[in-house]
Amino acid sequence: MSYRPSTRRPLQLLACAAVVLSFVLSSGAVLASGSKQSSSAKRPVAAKVPDRKVHKQAVQPQRKKAAVAQAPANRTVKARKQHIQRTSAPRRLSVAQQMGLRAMDDPLDLNSSVALVVDQNTGEVLFSKNDSAVLPIASLTKLMTGLVVAEADLPMDEMITITRDDVDTYKGTTSRLAIGARLSRGELMHLSLMSSENRAAHALGRTFPGGMERFVQLMNLKARELGMTDTHYVEPTGLHSRNRSSARDLATLVNVAYEHPILRDLSTSLSHEVHVGRRTLTFNNSNRLVRSSDWDIGLQKTGFISEAGRCLVMQANVAGRQLIMVFLDAAGSISRAQDAERVRRWVEAQYGTLQEEVRPQG
């Protein structure tokens, strides 16, 4: 029997070789892929930075939504009032705030910590809120300054020079009256009462016979004479917080000051021009109510320092009655005027009809 080689074995070998070759090729591809992924992993991919404008626009609505979510759904009147006081109050707490007076409620929901409304003819108190509290009075001081000058019967045409001594060293406030400016005593009175000009008021005290010390002494003597036992002055401008009084004392001062025509006229004029060297300066009234047709104001004075808040005293005719109004420590720049408006409307509603009924028939 002759030997014949089998044809199956070469076929089997060929198949095995194909399998091995396929395995080698696939392993190489895997290794190459792994190497590529490894190298790409080592290189950090820069993150896409969002456009600043787009990012800001996206963040702001989120913040607004968060603020709205934190705000109470239904604020009470008292809560709204406290919110306004927090946002509009001076950075330094006023003396009245420190005493807790501003947080006290009243029937008219006034912003002022202290208020007093008195019938000038009868002395009847129509409205009162913390009227005995002794507080800084800021530039309401200038009303007593004007009263002392007016009663001294000094020449109003006498020229007075503004000096370095008249510069504010208490609060560092500025003035349009430069050192060296020359004005008459009457003009200084006018600017002091109408525009609350501090250098003008200081110059009135500095040039008074006997000097500043004598002038302040007379201010306090006049207060004692009028029975203003809650009142004390240390200088004539009101910039110092030690100038203090109560609403009751200030009502007395307004009543007496109203007797002097010069104080009525100068405090209620709308504006006044003064000539300083080659310049003409226009000063306006610091009380916005004097320009309102709704008001008939006979005398007024405003005031503000951080310790006193916004202050206002007035004599005004309302609903046929001559009234004296005092507002101390209002929070915002227009709050004292708003309180006066609220009181006026209240008086007109309470007493307007009565006054019309008792008015004599012609």
Based on the residue annotation, tell me whether 81 is a catalytic residue of this protein.
Answer: no
The residue from 81, 142, 222, 301 that is catalytic is 142
DSSP assigned state of 284: E
Based on the residue annotation, tell me whether 196 is a catalytic residue of this protein.
Answer: yes
Instruction: Give the torsion sign (CA, 6, 7, 13, 19).
Output: negative
The residue from 94, 192, 195, 196 that is catalytic is 196
CB 91 within 8 A of CB 306: yes
d(CA 56, CA 280): 49
Burial class (CB in 10 A: 0-12, 13-18, 19+), 314: buried
Based on the residue annotation, tell me whether 171 is a catalytic residue of this protein.
Answer: no
Cα–Cα distances in Å, from 300 out to 189, 192, 264, 270?
14, 12, 8, 12
The residue from 94, 112, 113, 139 that is catalytic is 139
d(CA 336, CA 351): 22
Residues 6+ apart with CB under 8 A from 106: 115, 129
Catalytic residue IDs: 139, 142, 196
